[in-house]
Chain A
Amino acid sequence: GAVVSQHPSRVICKSGTSVKIECRSLDFQATTMFWYRQFPKKSLMLMATSNEGSKATYEQGVEKDKFLINHASLTLSTLTVTSAHPEDSSFYICSARSGTGVNSPLHFGNGTRLTVT
């Protein structure tokens, strides 16, 4: 079945540094990928929609200069958390559709647990 690979699974960084998270679709091409953030015991919060070859579409309240998204190819999207602060500590998950039909489900990466100290 369709697989989405997300790396790294865990990262600890110091406040003020930047962290890059990669999301790859391994056996299908994804023109659109989604980046989510999940707080403890909360549902997924869509941060942005990543479109191959164009600028990402950010949800209201998400700082585009802080959460840089690059979708350079049909199989890779990256999320860079710039100048990270402790409040950015969270679980970040990417996802992609394996097909273009409305009945093709989202496939999720395994998520990245970010801890900013």
Chain B
Amino acid sequence: GQNIDQPTEMTATEGAIVQINCTYQTSGFNGLFWYQQHAGEAPTFLSYNVLDGLEEKGRFSSFLSRSKGYSYLLLKELQMKDSASYLCAVEGMDSNYQLIWGAGTKLIIKP
């Protein structure tokens, strides 16, 4: 079967760094996405990884290891507005670009 695992909830302190892990087992792999979703709102795109390695984009970075079926999202200099759910999604081999979604990690930032 296809499965994506993320921690359900994490807590971090304002100004600190937090790493949100995602492991996946899917039939085929075309890329991995990270999305941010604030409560009651639709998800917004954060990053995309298709090759192994680290992609840095400002305070957010995303890492991928295809051989390990593993990715992480790294958030630096945490701000209170970073409190949200972070969704990991993998694009399988379906020609319609369907994504397989993780359940999301709720990140709580404390002052």
Chain A residues with a Cβ under 8 A of chain B: 6, 32, 34, 42-44, 46, 49, 51, 57, 91, 93, 97, 102-103, 105-111, 113
A110 with B41, Cβ < 8 A, contacts A46-B98, A103-B31 known = yes
- Return the chain B residue nearest A97 by Cβ: B97
- Give the interface segment out of B10-18, B59-67, B71-79, B99-107: B99-107
Q: A32 touches which one: B48, B97, B104 (CB < 8 A)?
A: B97
B interface residue count range (under 10 / 10 to 19 / 20 to 34 / 35 or more): 20 to 34
- The answer to whether B31 touches A108, judged by C-beta atoms less than 8 angstroms apart, is no
- The answer to whether A103 touches B48, judged by C-beta atoms less than 8 angstroms apart, is yes
The interface residues of chain B lying within 8 Å CB-to-CB of A110 are 41-42
Cα separation A98 to B50 with both chains bound (whole Å): 17
> Total A-B residue pairs with C-beta atoms closer than 8 Å?
49
Is the CB of B24 closer than 8 A to any CB of chain A? no
The interface residues of chain B lying within 8 Å CB-to-CB of A93 are 42-43
The interface residues of chain B lying within 8 Å CB-to-CB of A105 are 33, 45, 48
Which residues of B1-48 have CB atoms within 8 Å of chain A's CB atoms? 30-31, 33, 40-45, 48
- Return the chain A residue nearest B8 by Cβ: A41
Cα separation A49 to B95 with both chains bound (whole Å): 11
- Return the chain B residue nearest A1 by Cβ: B45
Q: B33 touches which one: A32, A57, A91, A106 (CB < 8 A)?
A: A106
- Return the chain A residue nearest B88 by Cβ: A43
Cα separation A46 to B101 with both chains bound (whole Å): 9
The interface residues of chain A lying within 8 Å CB-to-CB of B43 are 44, 93, 108
Q: B87 touches which one: A43, A46, A51, A107 (CB < 8 A)?
A: A43
